[in-house]
Amino acid sequence: MNDQVRYYKTFVSPLDPCPPIRVKSYSTPPQLFIPFQPPNLPQFTPFEALKYGTLWPMLYSPYNSKNVRQEEGD
């Protein structure tokens, strides 16, 4: 599955009093792109579902801590 985090570069004023955050990220979980869930999708096992927080792998959206600083740029 493609990465669910997207990035954009912010406008930085030369007069910015704070150290600027140049690249910001936002999450685009899969339900945004599935207007109506099709029937009979493949499923996780019950224990996997409990762990991943969804019964359907197609709708799984991972949560990665933002404390680990992403590589800036690109």
Nearest to 56 by CA among 70, 43, 47, 69: 43
Longest dimension (CA), the chain: 55
- Tell the smallest beta-carbon distance from residue 47 to other proteins (Å): 5
Query: What's the closest the beta carbon of residue 27 comes to other proteins, in angstroms?
Result: 21
**In this complex, which beta carbon is closest to other proteins, that of residue 12 or of residue 32?**
32
> In the complex, which residues of this chain contact other proteins (CB under 8 A)?
36-37, 39-40, 46-47, 49-50, 54-56
d(CA 40, CA 12): 48
The nearer residue to other proteins, 26 or 36, going by C-beta atoms, is 36
